Structure 1
């Protein structure tokens, strides 16, 4: 009799625990979107060149992410491997190259252009996955890709003769690199991805140290550079922890909030207002991104609700 009375309480406690985990996951992923949204503002606020910025960002970020990885490894009793192998090193090098293009893009074009172009990464990932590994390409993704491509074309087209075309090109290159990185992460499932990210950040530090003079920065820039490395590490850790607690479609939808946050921060802290063509193209891309992610989220919720 006691067991039957305890069972509803157990179910209620389990449901409450699941709800609490989901709430925490939503909060962490949302916080990561805010932290990632600061990238453009911090990059443009620092007077140093892009390689110096990536060097310092890599130095601070690699230390903090390494501490996080070691903490997780200790919690798991040493079960999480730190052996990268050639796949992990390939991830690290490719991620470092994409990061250099990412930071450089902010220096040569509007923050809005970079983050909106980067928002098309899931579609480029789907296209590359179809071409490289013959992964099925969903009809809704094809439609969303076509719509977002129109938006990007409007944004990039507005860069002709304005001096922003190079930055837009770097943003496109970075997005393609990020898409390839996502495919590699899926293909190399046994590779410690977060640890590879820490190594990637350290590679940026080593590369920057030899090709630039990272110590030749003002005190103001030094403070901002340390803050930049800290925000990068915090965003990565928050997203990693939060995405473990919520379904992938929900994580993707919340992560896309980075775009409006970045544009808002650029307006508030830099007074940056992109031209009408960029705003129009960006609106088209964002509609495609949120509609695609939102549909996946609704489908996932229906499946979860189905007994």
Structure 2
């Protein structure tokens, strides 16, 4: 391991853990307001886009981050927009614990996608971890049947798929900027969200709360995508799940949400699978992805 590679790896770990801490507040912001899911998506998107584009301009990176993102940046923005819409909507339809635990399976999905797309062999331990994680997701969703939460669980799974795909794409295309596509993903959601729910019906107090959400979400997204460039797909996903226990704890302390038995059992399986798969890939190093250009 060279000093440069070691530094990049440590920076990636720090960025991913910081991103996870910020993302753990998403359930509080979304469920802590009376605004509908689409209204949350709209106002979070407005402030996230303004703040991110403003930061790009102030740093003098407009040309590189926005004008030169290319079709790959546009694709990443579209995937990010879809995943974000699913993620925020899921919180309004199921518990924070269910959302956090289901999409914490993203490293397992990322490993499978990395094997399929860029031939990063997952290894037996990762395969076993993925199998355990999938059983856990099935248990969580089974506990939601008959309680009106299954649709929210499926949206959380959509988020997990989108996040896994972003991890893999940034491993394949590390030169694609992170901030520009992140801001654009918020812009892409604005017309859809505006049509789905009147944004001006939200109170000024809640708009202020969602402004803070936009700042937190923008910062967390940029940190996560920059970290994904420096780490193997499986490890990046594993570190991103650090937010899961914090999200559940915050929901319990502030929203008084207590997970049901099926969530505890399924969640233990998911986290066990994620940890097992992550430990199996602990020796992976960035820079092993073959070029696709």
Same fold (TM over 0.5): yes
Deviation at 1:239, TM superposition (A): 3.9
Match runs of 1:31-46 below 5 Å: 31-46=18-33
Q: Which runs of 5+ in 2 are unaligned?
A: 286-293
Task: Check whether the contact 1:82–1:192 (CA below 8 A) recurs between aligned residues.
Answer: no
CA distance 1:279–1:132, change in 2 (3 Å): same
The residue aligned with 2:262 is 277
Quote the Cα distance in structure 2 between the aligned partners of 1:98 and 1:188: 19
Structure 2 residue 189 is matched with structure 1 residue 207: no
The residue aligned with 1:176 is 161
- The Cα offsets for residues 251-306 of structure 1, whole Å up to 9 and x where unpaired, read as 55443211111101110110000101101110111122123224433x359xxxxx
The residue aligned with 1:52 is 39
Structure 2 residue 248 is matched with structure 1 residue 263: yes
Larger Rg: 1
State which of 210, 221, 235 in structure 2 corresponds to 1:236.
Answer: 221
Give SS of 1:215's match: helix
The residue aligned with 1:66 is 53
Question: Number of residues paired by the alignment?
Answer: 282
Q: Which runs of 5+ in 1 are unaligned?
A: 1-14, 302-307
Pairwise CA RMSD: 3.0
After TM superposition, the score normalised by the length of structure 2 is: 0.83
CA distance 1:176–1:243, change in 2 (3 Å): closer
CA distance 1:100–1:213, change in 2 (3 Å): same
Task: Check whether the contact 1:57–1:205 (CA below 8 A) recurs between aligned residues.
Answer: no
After TM superposition, the score normalised by the length of structure 1 is: 0.80
Quote the Cα distance in structure 2 between the aligned partners of 1:247 and 1:190: 14
- The Cα offsets for residues 222-270 of structure 1, whole Å up to 9 and x where unpaired, read as 12211111110222244456677x7557755443211111101110110
Deviation at 1:150, TM superposition (A): 1.1
Task: Check whether the contact 1:129–1:135 (CA below 8 A) recurs between aligned residues.
Answer: yes
